[in-house]
Amino acid sequence: MVTSIRINNSTLELVEGDITLQAVDAIVNAANSALSGGGGVDGAIHRAGGIAIMAECRKIGRCPAGTAIITTAGQLPCKYVIHTVGPVYGGGNRGEAALLASSYRSSLTLAKEHGFKSVAFPSISTGVYSYPVEEAAAIALRTVVDFLKTEPSKIELLRFVLFSGADFKTYSTVLGRLNK
C-alpha cells in the first residue's frame, strides 16, 4: 500500500516495508547518541550494511538527541545513511516534541546540503524509545511538510517506510488530517 501527496516539486510518500531495502540516496537511521548500534531499525541497518558503517560511526563518536550525522551505506542499496537520534519518551513534558522535530529537520538539512533527491525515514523514537505513534506521526509529518514547503532543495522523494501495517495506517490517517 502507498499513500502520497505532492508538495511543491516533491512527493511525500508513505509505504509499509523494510527501510534497509530502499534504493534511495539516503536512508535515515534511528540511532542512539553513542552511535553504538542497537536493536530495532539501527540493528537492521548495521546488519545489512556491514562493518563499514560502524567504522565511520566510531570515528564520528557521538550524536546528541535532535542532531544528525552522515556515513557510508556499506552494502546497503542506498548511497548514504543519515543517523539521527530521537528523544526517549518520558511522558511528553521533557521537550520530546521539539527534539523529535529537530531530528527530522537535522536529517533533512543534511540531505539538502548533500543535494540528495530521495530520502527515506523510519518512524523515529516510536520503538525502543516509546514515543506514542500517533503523536510522533503528527510531529514527523508536520515537520517534513513544513521543510518541503519552505526550504528549497533537490529532494524529489521523501518516503516514510513504516514497519507495520498498524503504523502505516496511523501515519496515513494523520497525513489525511494534516492535509485538510
Distance (Å) of CA 5 to CA 64, 72, 114, 154, 179: 32, 29, 24, 17, 9
**Do the beta carbons of residue 160 and residue 140 sit within 8 Å?**
yes
Write down the residue that cell numbers 488530517 correspond to.
177
**What distance in Å separates the CA atoms of residue 14 and residue 11, rounded to the nearest whole number?**
10
- Nearer CB in complex with ligand AR6: 46/153: 46
CA distance 166 to 15: 12
Q: How far is the CB of 133 from ligand AR6 (least distance, A)?
A: 7
CB of 8 to ligand AR6, least distance (A): 26
Answer yes or no: are the C-beta atoms of 124 and 108 closer than 8 Å.
no
Please state the closest distance from residue 138 (CB atom) to ligand AR6, in A: 15
Residues sharing a CB contact under 8 Å with residue 64, sequence separation 6 or more, in sequence order: 33, 85
The nearer residue to ligand AR6, 35 or 153, going by C-beta atoms, is 35
42 is annotated as an active-site residue:
yes
* Cell 521533557, located at residue: 94
Q: Which of 18, 25, 42, 146 is catalytic?
A: 42
Q: How far is the CB of 32 from ligand AR6 (least distance, A)?
A: 3
User: 129 or 153, CB closer to ligand AR6?
Assistant: 129
Radius of gyration over every alpha carbon of the chain, rounded to an integer in angstroms: 15
Toward ligand AR6, which CB reaches closer, 38 or 50?
A: 38
Contact residues for ligand AR6, defined by CB under 6 A: 18-20, 30-32, 38-42, 44, 86, 122-129, 161, 163, 167
The catalytic residues are 42
